[in-house]
Amino acid sequence: MTGVDIVLSGAGLVARGSGALFWPDRRLLVVADLHLGRSERLARSGGALLPPYEGRETLARLEAEIRATEPAVVICLGDSFDDLAAEAALPETEALWLTRLMAGRRWLWIAGNHDPGPLTLPGEHRAAFELGPLIFRHQASPGATGEVSAHYHPKHRLGLGGRGYWRPCFLVDHARLILPAFGAYTGGMRAADPVLRALMGPTARAILTGTPPLCVPMQR
């Protein structure tokens, strides 16, 4: 199984084990929080020195999802780059790779809190995007319905004690869906955090990424 079926405001969606979201009826693929250039930004700011491979890993995963779903539209739900300087420092090979992935399909960059969307790459730039019964934005808005968002990088714990481990996860209830971060080198907020508990309804589920993806009640 490569995904878990979800119905949100009447739209049939698939939460894929990769962390991407697919809307088959619209041939629309959604990814969140790529954070390209994270290792470069951390090195520039005097933070941890990480191997500079996260861009290639993220783009390889994105290319695999595009090949698997053949979308007509791709939405990047904000924080596609770690900051605008990271976009400028994107290696030419990765910029060309990304441009190739964009060719022949509609591509929307949603503004995030780390960047307003890459200004030198093709595609459409939006604060939010509405399609049918759904609205796509970077950060969840209290009281919204039919909302697909990102920002929090939710993760869910499996197991107890020293044998427990974390997986990135989708969070979904009757009104909203929050995607996990798709990019490599991204941390996460535990699903039981008060911020996420306040956003999600009492019957919310967590869909854990991986093969196969796993659907469980959201931790509270």
Count of beta carbons in the 10 Å neighbourhood of residue 15: 25
pTM above 0.85, yes or no: yes
Side-chain-side CA neighbours of residue 5 (13 Å): 6
Looking at the predicted structure, is the pLDDT value of residue 24 above 90?
yes
Q: Which residue has the tokens 């730039």?
A: 125
User: According to CATH, what is the number of the domain 3-217?
Assistant: 3.60.21
Report yes or no: 192 and 35 within 8 Å, Cβ to Cβ: no
Summarize pLDDT for 158-213 with one digit per residue, the tens.
876 667 788 999 999 999 999 999 987 677 899 999 999 999 999 999 999 999 99
pLDDT at 39 over 80: no
139 versus 48: the higher-pLDDT residue is: 139
Could you tell me which of 191, 96, 207 has the C-alpha nearest to residue 152? 191
pLDDT (tens digit per residue) in 80-132: 886 666 666 688 888 899 999 999 999 999 998 866 667 778 899 999 999 99
d(CA 57, CA 89) in angstroms, rounded, equals 17
Q: Which DSSP string corresponds to 144-211?
A: -SSEEE-SS-EEEEESSGGG-EEEEEEEE-SSEEEPPP-STT---EETTSHHHHHHS-TT-EEEE-SS
Sign of the CA dihedral running 3, 141, 156, 117: positive
What are φ and ψ of residue 199, in 5° steps?
A: -80, -35
Sequence spans of domains, the chain: 3-217
C-beta of residue 6 within 8 angstroms of C-beta of residue 17: no
**Which two three-digit tokens encode residue 8?**
């949100």
